[in-house]
Amino acid sequence: MFYPALRMRRLRNNQNIRDMVSETSFGLQNLIMPYFVVNGENIKEAIGSMPGIFRYSIDNLVEEVKKGRELGIKAVLLFGVGCEKDDVASAAYDENGLIPKALMALKDAAPDVMLITDVCFCEYTSHGHCGIILNDEVDNDRTIELLGQAALAYARAGADMVAPSDMMDGRVGYIRQALDEEGFTNIPILSYSAKYASAFYGPFREAADCAPKFGDRKTYQMDCRNSAEALREAAQDIEEGADIVMVKPALSYLDVICRVKADAKMPVCAYNVSGEYSMVKAAAANGWLDEKKIVAEILTSIKRAGADIIITYHANDYARWLKEGSVNA
């Protein structure tokens, strides 16, 4: 059948019919809001390169997470910032450290919010790399042993899910075994399976004070020219016990999200990262685009590519706009 009998515009005539035949939909249940946590009290520090995002002390973090929960954001991802740094990231797996304390406070104040912890060392090492340095290189096997300790510390403190983001080989299997041996068999692992060495992480590195002091992370994070490799990374993590696999960043890697979803046939997460967030904020501040419309379009595109879950700094704003009725669900 061809025009004029076939008119594709018939199914675009009004909002009701567009909603009726839409192929992609998502809700607040698909979003995770990241937070940066610092030591101290009554702290709310603005992050210059990420307008609207702050570093919070635990007391203020609790209030912010509760506000997000009221808007409908039921999952958060925690990053510890400003802890004492050393060569072996000891603050990352200190059971009395910042993230365990934050987990306990949040679990008490907002028990129905899913608490996810980043498991990585870049915020805690004096050199800024994601693992332990030996002979001027990141030592994979020593690193995964300490990552297992960190995951256990977070599980003991009340984490509902752990998310290793270091990109060491074998860390998912090691963490899974460590959790299971201590009885945490029901704690899922959200693995940063295809984490690319990306310039889009710039604002995050300011927020978390985690830029490497020498070299770069290209020996362990993925090359942006590769996509088949992402399938191998995800397959390895699944084999080792990952419950959800992730692609990071999102917007320049929508093709990778699509391929991983088709190949993995399991829940896929995408991280709408700091640089992607900050570009939108900068353009909106200059009046170059409509922030609400562009955020809705971006999140829809990530979902359309195959992501079941989206980590995004826009989560609370998007939830508020939905509540106000200024964007369409």
> How do residues 64-101 score in pLDDT, each as one tens digit?
999 999 999 999 999 999 889 999 999 999 999 999 99
Residue 130, annotated ligand binder?
yes
More confident residue, 243 or 26: 243
So what's the pLDDT on residue 44?
A: 98
Residue 253, annotated ligand binder?
no
SS3 per-residue string spanning the chain: CCCCCCCHHHHHCCHHHHHHCCCCCCCHHHEEEEEEEECCCCCEEECCCCCCCEEEEHHHHHHHHHHHHHHCCCEEEEEECCCCCECCCHHHHCCCCHHHHHHHHHHHHCCCCEEEEEECCCCCECCCCCCEEECCEEEHHHHHHHHHHHHHHHHHHCCCEEEECCCCCCHHHHHHHHHHHCCCCCCCEEEEEEEECCHHHHHHHHHHCCCCCCCCCCCCCECCCCCHHHHHHHHHHHHHCCCEEEEECCHHHHHHHHHHHHHHCCCEEEEECHHHHHHHHHHHHCCCCCHHHHHHHHHHHHHHHCCCEEEECCHHHHHHHHHHCCCCC
Name which of 11-15, 27-31, 34-38 the model is least confident about: 11-15
So what's the pLDDT on residue 329?
A: 67
Q: Please state the rounded mean pLDDT for residues 279-298.
A: 97
Please check whether residue 202 lies inside any domain of the structure: yes
Residue 274, annotated ligand binder?
yes
Residue 1 pLDDT more than 80?
no
Residue 267 pLDDT more than 90?
yes
Q: 11 pLDDT band (50/70/90 cuts)?
A: confident
CATH number at residue 109: 3.20.20.70
Residue 122, annotated ligand binder?
yes
Please check whether residue 3 lies inside any domain of the structure: no
Q: 108 pLDDT band (50/70/90 cuts)?
A: very high
Q: Please state the rounded mean pLDDT for residues 249-255.
A: 98
Q: Please state the rounded mean pLDDT for residues 144-159.
A: 97
Our count of domains for the chain comes to 1
Please check whether residue 5 lies inside any domain of the structure: no
Residue 275 pLDDT more than 90?
yes
Name which of 4-8, 236-240, 317-321 the model is least confident about: 4-8
Residue 324, annotated ligand binder?
no
Q: Please state the rounded mean pLDDT for residues 162-182.
A: 96
Please check whether residue 7 lies inside any domain of the structure: no
Percent share of the chain, pLDDT over 90: 81
- Which residue segment(s) compose the domain that 125 sits in? 25-324
Name which of 44-53, 203-212, 299-308 the model is least confident about: 203-212
Give catalytic residues, as residue numbers. Answer: 195, 248
Please check whether residue 221 lies inside any domain of the structure: yes
Please check whether residue 16 lies inside any domain of the structure: no
So what's the pLDDT on residue 288?
A: 98
Residue 120, annotated ligand binder?
yes
Please check whether residue 37 lies inside any domain of the structure: yes
